[in-house]
Structure 1
Amino acid sequence: MSTPTRPRELPPEVLDVVTPHTQRLVLNRRGSTVWHIETEDPETGKTAAYAVKLGYISESHAWTADAPGREAYVLRTLRPEPIHSGEWGQGTWNIQPWHSGPSLYEKWEPYRAPESSALPDAVDALSCAEALSALHRTGWVHGDVQPAHLIMGDPGVTLIDLALARGRSVPERYDFAYRGCLVHYEAPEISRSVLESGTAVPTRESDVYALGASLMISATGWRHVAYPDDAPRDVQRQAIVDGPHRPVTIPGELGQLVNAMLMPSPADRPTAAEACEALCLAL
């Protein structure tokens, strides 16, 4: 395993746009450094929180340098708030509003306790499905659905990290091929395509599979498919292709829905909108 590099400091190009009152390192891995900053909102004069993402070429990936620039473009098609972005000496950067709240995995931690008899909250699951369904209605596919990207805020869930989104055109300068996502949440057809060609095309159906895998691991602590933690990526992907997925032990209607979302054939999975309908009936 490679040693993490020193986190990239905020470059002059970012500091020309914002003057942080505080800054906190959030992430530093594989071609990406993310800072949480607080600064004065120019419109209200009040303190506001932002995420600053810096992309650069990593040991194994070149696309990470362009990811913040690509994400900024996607976000501008979806949200009214200003999204700042640009280039710096090692890649691209963006500044976007910070979304407060625990991730799905963090919020559902009590359900994973060995002594817990509480059932996972179907309202939370509905909020996640609604966020995904809303994204799909815009013509975008997320491509990287995972518990850490489902922020359980107020009044609802925000899907973050949209650098890998597909479905609508992106300027060629910032575009790059899709080479899969975090393997723990890949659908079989995505893993198969990456193994065969090195790339894949994420779909609404693969997003739904990833949401099902996210709900399962957040509720139970178990990945959707068994493979060694330290197995190479191609071994992990082959396990997903070969299947089957682990039994879904979540009780009740939510468990039945998650099982349907994890069907090996994309055509057999519910859409995100259908998942919302099923969850509404279960409430």
Structure 2
Amino acid sequence: MSGSPPELPIVVLDALMPVSQRLVLNRRGSSVWDVEGDRGRYAVKVGYPVEATSEWPAQPWTALAPAREGAVLHRLGADDIAYREWERGTWNIQPWREGPDLYRLWEPCRTEGSSVELHTSVALGCVEALAELHAKGWAHGDVQPAHFIIGPERTYLIDLALARGGHVPEGYDFPFRGCLVHYEAPEIARSVLATGEAEPTQEADIYALGASLLISATGWRAVEYPDEAPRPVQREAVASGKRRPVKATGELGELIDAMLSHAPEDRPTIHEVGKALS
């Protein structure tokens, strides 16, 4: 259970003077709010530590994640960003990105017997958003369908709390211990299993993008393992490289297969993926 989310910190309320606020997401260690005020519409992320239970260990890093993301966004030159500490952790404010995520947008394509075609323009928008980050020398580290917001004019890549590629203030930094295993590259899974940590790379982002496109188009994960399997069991399956015999239709399917190559050096670069889709 996630429990009740904390209220928005007073300093955030003072900064935004909201006329409306809506809880969008409440999970262990963080909550996300859609806040609208005189200054505009913002996403507010609030982080706090996760206490240990019989099911999972303590996770103090969740308290630092909003400030780390704020620092990353600042390093990337984003405007209208604020991040600070509060009594239980950190928070950040960033512009709200309106639109469905990739998985929700492609839902009609996954309906049995559907004649809805996959639009490569949507995939290309995701590629361009990731390419923009890679061009600045960063790896995202947590690429997944929910982090691509398909806006009316462009696609946004959100949730950069785990990104690597430049300086982050030491007080807000923490080791990368993997991401959602559905989208974790084999080499990341192996490193986390062996050492408890890994280093996000652009090659791993490519794998994650391929896995994101595949599950959004077909509803199937790239690698097969029981839904309720413990994280180490999931990672063992990913590390083995045993792929499901699932393929998206057409040329996009062939491209996704290349992106999901077991060896990082066999995957196309983001530039090559964009060129193929164009």
TM-score normalised to the size of structure 1? 0.94
The aligned runs of 1:1-283 (5 Å cut-off) are 3-41=1-39, 48-59=40-51, 60-280=58-278
In structure 2, what is the Cα distance between the partners aligned to 1:102 and 1:118? 17
Cα offset for 1:30?
A: 1.7
CA contact (8 A) 1:131 1:158 kept: yes
Q: State the SS of the aligned residue for 2:262.
A: coil
Q: State the SS of the aligned residue for 1:96.
A: strand
Q: State the SS of the aligned residue for 2:138.
A: coil
In structure 1, what is the Cα distance between the partners aligned to 2:212 and 2:77? 24
Cα offset for 1:232?
A: 0.4
In structure 2, what is the Cα distance between the partners aligned to 1:78 and 1:123? 25
Cα offset for 1:39?
A: 0.5
- 1:152 partner amino acid: I
In structure 2, what is the Cα distance between the partners aligned to 1:16 and 1:152? 31
- 1:205 partner amino acid: E
In structure 2, what is the Cα distance between the partners aligned to 1:92 and 1:238? 33
Unaligned segments of structure 2, at least 5 residues: 52-57
Cα offset for 1:79?
A: 4.1
- 1:179 partner amino acid: R
- 1:49 partner amino acid: R
Q: State the SS of the aligned residue for 1:85.
A: strand
Q: Note the alpha carbon deviations across 1:134-187, whole angstroms, 9 max, x for none.
A: 110111110000000000002111000000000111110111000001111000
Q: State the SS of the aligned residue for 2:18.
A: coil
Cα offset for 1:132?
A: 0.7
In structure 1, what is the Cα distance between the partners aligned to 2:15 and 2:87? 16
Cα offset for 1:228?
A: 0.9
Between Structure 1 and Structure 2, how many residues are aligned?
Answer: 272
In structure 1, what is the Cα distance between the partners aligned to 2:12 and 2:83? 8
- 2:219 partner amino acid: G
Q: State the SS of the aligned residue for 1:16.
A: helix
Unaligned segments of structure 1, at least 5 residues: 42-47
The residue aligned with 2:55 is none
Cα offset for 1:14?
A: 1.4
- Percent identity between the two aligned chains: 59
In structure 1, what is the Cα distance between the partners aligned to 2:15 and 2:272? 42
CA contact (8 A) 1:226 1:239 kept: yes
CA contact (8 A) 1:192 1:238 kept: yes
RMSD: 1.0
- 2:104 partner amino acid: E
Cα offset for 1:117?
A: 2.8
In structure 2, what is the Cα distance between the partners aligned to 1:33 and 1:155? 27
Cα offset for 1:16?
A: 2.4
Cα offset for 1:250?
A: 1.1
Q: Note the alpha carbon deviations across 1:238-265, whole angstroms, 9 max, x for none.
A: 0101131113421211000000000000
Q: Note the alpha carbon deviations across 1:198-227, whole angstroms, 9 max, x for none.
A: 000010000000000000000000011011
TM-score normalised to the size of structure 2? 0.96
Q: Note the alpha carbon deviations across 1:251-283, whole angstroms, 9 max, x for none.
A: 211000000000000000001111000001xxx
Structure 1, 210-219 or 28-37: larger mean CA deviation: 28-37
